[in-house]
Structure 1
């Protein structure tokens, strides 16, 4: 990354950072898409089982990943301040943190997974598929979180094309393994939906290995001496990362968990409704990769400019990113409006499932627009290292307002399952407004503080 002076230069650098992240996120989403799609074509029960398993795993994965990506603004600000010599130490502490996170996940998963699935009102076949899908995923927890740390560092240096390359390797590996393990082709065991979990675990090891290879062999990571020297566990350094990472993790968890909770609450509906709902959520999540990628790009760029004290440039990147996301959300809304039937046909051949997916996608149009504001705004706030208010806003908007509204509409009106989607729309819209208000306050505060410090200096 380098300083920019004009809007044109900023646009070029923004796109240079954004495009590889977008490709990476779409590829990661495609992995989940192929898990769902290929499991659904094996059988409706497998689609439902993988949907339930994914609904339990994704909030945990994304929430804890959020804690670990707290390393990104730390590294980007260090680079902005020209303190490159401290990067390797921070990354090593991130690796220590990933080991702790992995151990906690495995222990808690072993203790709680059975009781949670037993508590849910699932058909026995669906419950069994969900259980064994998650057991298979657990074998990839350690490399997944380790790679998250490596990717956070890679992206913070502006080398987002490296992450893109690694993910593009992972996609065909995962799809190929799905083909072998879900359907039992070429003599491999025919595992159905569980095979998707096995394939994902193996893929996690592949991307971790690729990440290590780049860290050791490619520039600028070789010059930064990342993982070349052992650094002992430091409570102080871990505390610094947790102070940023925990609010980020909770913000992500609150948003992803509310979608998963809705899926779990909908377990009282029939298997067709569960499958259709999860398919619609899966496609909407694929479209969500656009604002999410812009969010991650803005964290890097705003963090770099803020670290260097170029607050005007940081504000310009904020406007550029949020404006781009809002414009693109209109395009994705048109996709959902006019191509809903074709999208539904990708996930299932069952006419009833296709019809329900198409209906759910109409509701998805509205929260796509809110996501286009809320998600990039969070990325800007992370670049400023202002993370605590955001997770409070997300909790209130999604859990205090959105989920209860959805529950009331679903349980006490004729809307049924659609009521939950209206609740999601309500929570996301309120969250977008509150986050944008917070950003305005933070930028004003930074400007005032910088003006004071400059006058004193």
Structure 2
């Protein structure tokens, strides 16, 4: 097949992906703003945000993973023109995500004592606990928002969640500034101020998306709720069968990055702060790939609903090629700007030097990280989640983590060794997931031709 068969899909892919990219980048830019504002308070507060978010990110991965089950089901129903089925998945998805938000909030409160047993600097743990308590409550509005977002994504209407996210991020930055430093009539709350800014913005984000969706004609019939359709076990079972493995996939990946925070903390406060800087920069480029991963889920799900598996493969591979090109550009940028980018976060020579070294490794795993998330998205569109979950576990925890643990010791390679494990795990994941998608999509194609 000629290259143009793939490149001609780039426009459609980007038109769906760019709102997701901007929305996800908005989240990361708020993280960047948080880190820059908190970084002005010193290395220990910056490390405390990193440590507190280790547990939050684990919980977040579980909740978002479950919500991802909504998108392929809505996309398939939309492709088949079955509105009633799509409406049922949407309503049950909202209930599931609300319960998940409450569960994750309680889980984070119960998990607070774990921070004392991770061999972290005591001053960092003391700062992290009150920050975590406030951010934990924001899981409830965030998970309900995810249900509405994934529903709209499934209908290829990705721009509304972007609007909600961008405006909410501005709200977050404003309240961070007011509450961290105690500007105007507001008290100086430092880290707790950053947490309150996050909480306020997430409630605003949920309200804004709900308000805008319910007013749009395209969504109106989906917002007609009736008691007779509620609590159908078969619908919850379908959502769970897709959501639970997807949650595990995200958990395995987020947990390996969380492990780098803990391993870096064992090296000291400055290595942990440098790790946070490099992770935040790497996560920005990852969010571009997330947008294309969502696009792959939507478009592959649509083609599955239409049973057009030849177009399905072409569209999927166009997304793989597009993310490869984009991430290659970011990889070059990281190498060229490695000494300059960390200076935006903190004025500490040792932290800046360590972070610049980590960005070299981050540049190398851009390609693998981008490819694996987009291929996972395509597999999710095929509603294939169980085998990819096993692949993610093997890649990150059988291959990646042992390398990070061994080479990340101070007497070996230190922080660089930790990130070499990330590089190995992400590369193994991308390769195995590609082989899985190639095999499965060819199998569907042969069955359709038979």
TM-score with structure 2 length normalisation?
0.96
1:166 aligns with 2:164: yes
Quick check: 34-43 or 421-430, which moved more? 34-43
CA contact (8 A) 2:14 2:292 kept: no
CA RMSD in angstroms, aligned pairs only = 1.6
How far apart in 2 are the matches of 1:386 and 1:137? 33
CA spacing shift, 1:88–1:226, aligned 2, 3 Å:
farther
Task: State which of 259, 262, 265 in structure 2 corresponds to 1:261.
Answer: 259
Q: How does 1:302-451 map to 2 (within 5 A)?
A: 302-411=300-409, 413-451=411-449
3-state SS of paired residue (1:42): coil
Determine if contact 1:87/1:226 at 8 Å carries over to the other structure. Answer: no
1:232 & 1:76 partners in 2: Cα distance?
A: 21
Q: CA deviation at 1:216?
A: 1.3
Consecutive unaligned residues in structure 2, runs of 5 or more: none
Equivalent-residue separation in structure 2 for 1:338 and 1:173 (angstroms):
33
Q: Of 281, 287, 292, which aligns to 1:289?
A: 287
Structure 1 position 225 matched with structure 2 position 222: yes
Q: 1:236: Cα distance to partner? A: 1.7
**For the structure 1 residues 179 and 437, does the alpha-carbon distance in structure 2 shift closer, same or farther, using more than 3 Å as the test?**
same
Contact 1:92-1:227 within 8 A present in 2 as well: no
* Partner secondary structure for residue 349 of structure 1: coil
- 1:120 maps to 118
155 and 177 in structure 1: CA distance in 2 versus 1, 3 angstrom threshold: same
Note if contact 1:42-1:193 (Cα within 8 Å) is conserved in structure 2: no
Q: Counterparts of 1:124 and 1:405 in 2: how far apart (Å)?
A: 27
Do the aligned partners of 1:170 and 1:207 also contact (CA within 8 Å) in 2? yes
For 1:227 and 1:166, the matched residues in 2 are separated by 22
Deviation string 1:122-153 (CA, Å, 9 cap, x unpaired) is 33331122111111112212111000000001
Aligned-residue offset at 1:227: 5.1
Give ranges in structure 1 of 5+ residues lacking alignment.
Answer: 1-5, 453-457
Corresponding residue SS for 2:223: coil
Confirm or deny that 1:97 pairs with 2:96: yes
Scaled by the length of structure 1, the TM-score of the pair is 0.94
The answer to whether 1:81 aligns with 2:69 is no
Distance of 2:159 and 2:126 partners within structure 1: 39
The CA deviation at 1:8 is 7.2
Deviations, residues 27-79 of structure 1 (Å, cap 9, x unaligned): 11111121122111122211010010112211210232111111000000000
- What is the distance in 1 between the residues matched to 2:22 and 2:102? 30
Secondary structure, in 3 states, of the residue corresponding to 1:326? helix
- Structure 2: distance between partners of 1:356 and 1:39: 19
Aligned to 1:58: 57
Structure 2 Cα separation of the partners of residues 184 and 73 of structure 1: 45
Q: Separation in 2 of the partners of 1:294 and 1:220?
A: 24
Instruction: Decide whether aligned partners of structure 1 residues 131 and 227 sit closer, same or farther in structure 2, where only a CA change above 3 A counts.
Output: farther
Q: Distance in 1 between matches of 2:294 and 2:280?
A: 20
CA distance in 1, matches of 2:25, 2:387: 29
For 2:264 and 2:337, locate their aligned partners in 1 and report how far apart those are by CA, in whole Å.
25
Write the deviation string for residues 8-32 of structure 1: whole angstroms up to 9, x where unpaired: 7633322210111111111111111
Of residues 299, 303, 311, the one that matches 1:301 is 299
Aligned residues: 446
Instruction: Return closer, same or farther for 1:207/1:225 CA change in 2, 3 Å cut-off.
Output: same
